[in-house]
Amino acid sequence: MDFRQFRYFIVTAEELHVARAAERLGIAQPALSQMIRGIEERVGARLFHRAHRRIELTAAGVAFLAEARLALEHAEMAAKAAQRASRGETGRVRIGYVSSALLEETFLNALALYQQKNPDVVVDLVLRNTVGHIAAMRSEDQDVAVTRGPAPGVPDGFDVRPFSRWPLVVAVPARHPLAERRTLSLDDLQDETLLMPDDPPGSGLAHTVAQTLAQHGFLPHRVIRVTEVTAWVGLVGAGLGVALLPASARALQMNSVSYRPLKGVQAQSELLVISRRGETAPAVRAFLERLWKAAPVAKADAR
């Protein structure tokens, strides 16, 4: 039985008059009478009986009316749910990120605005390194990766686009003599312990820093590997070393840490967004659109 039959029956039950019901439905009275008979044959029970010039619902008709209304209500709810899903207003978006992405105000604002505009979308955030993101994307365990470049080994079928680019700065303990200088060079760090990100070889911020040091023939006095950006800054503040970080790290303000520009170095750290090419999930597409509206690189290219 289709929903049109339910609607015809409900209108007839509300009017209790076949002619008026037919007029309200915009069909001929004989066609409606035939439709009602067909419904009764399908149900196997009389739903109406004649009473003078009107019709009345039988006990079977009363029971059928309640269920028919529920069926139409559920159908309308299903249609609305489908429409909202097609607009990306419901669903799930699984976002992998690196810790330094949380220092990017534009990324956080885009994420917050997306969640505000789409409160019924479930957003999962998972912290991974660059190699972990690529593996998760390949196995379809996440929908979007927000990670530091470079990102080697991204398989075919995925797009890799820069979200932002930042020059490197030096984070030094606030009470260190180096903090008294307005700018620093790599030579100024010759005797310092260098805190390095613990990324797999050839990927992420670790590769950018290592490549920069190699290009300038700089060999750190001592290296400590650290996995998470707040840990880098915390260790710098504790006086355990210095760190080369994207300038976006200045967002992580601590009284015990000072940030200084790094002169003589042109290297930049890119925050990348990895996504499936031809993404079909509306919620994921809507999130990506929100990201690109906010992306500093896109705004810079437009100028």
Q: What is the pLDDT of residues 20-77, one digit of tens each?
A: 999 999 999 999 999 999 999 999 999 998 877 789 999 999 999 999 999 888 888 7
Does residue 223 register a pLDDT over 80?
yes
Q: Answer whether 179's CB lies under 8 Å from 189's CB.
A: no
pLDDT of residue 288: 96
Q: What is the pLDDT of residues 141-177, one digit of tens each?
A: 999 999 999 999 898 999 999 999 999 999 999 999 9
Contact criterion met (CB below 8 Å) for 214 and 224: no
Helix, strand, or coil here: 50? Answer: strand
The CATH fold assigned to 3-86 is Arc Repressor Mutant, subunit A (1.10.10)
pTM: 0.75
The band of 298, judged by pLDDT with boundaries at 50, 70 and 90, is: low
User: Confidence class of residue 303 from pLDDT cuts 50, 70 and 90?
Assistant: very low
pLDDT of amino acid 299: 55
Per-residue model confidence as pLDDT tens digits over 238-277: 999 999 999 999 988 899 999 999 999 999 999 999 999 9
Helices 59-86 and 3-15 pack at an angle, to 10 degrees, of: 130
**Cβ-based neighbours of 36, under 8 Å, separated by 6 or more:** 8, 9, 12, 18, 47, 48
User: Residue ranges per domain, the chain?
Assistant: 3-86, 91-303
**3 state SS of 301:** helix
284's tokens: 């994921």
10 Å Cβ neighbour count for 199? 23
Say what the alpha-carbon torsion angle 39, 45, 47, 50 is, to the nearest 10 degrees. 110
> What is residue 286's predicted lDDT score, i.e. its pLDDT?
93
* CATH dotted code for 91-303: 3.40.190.290
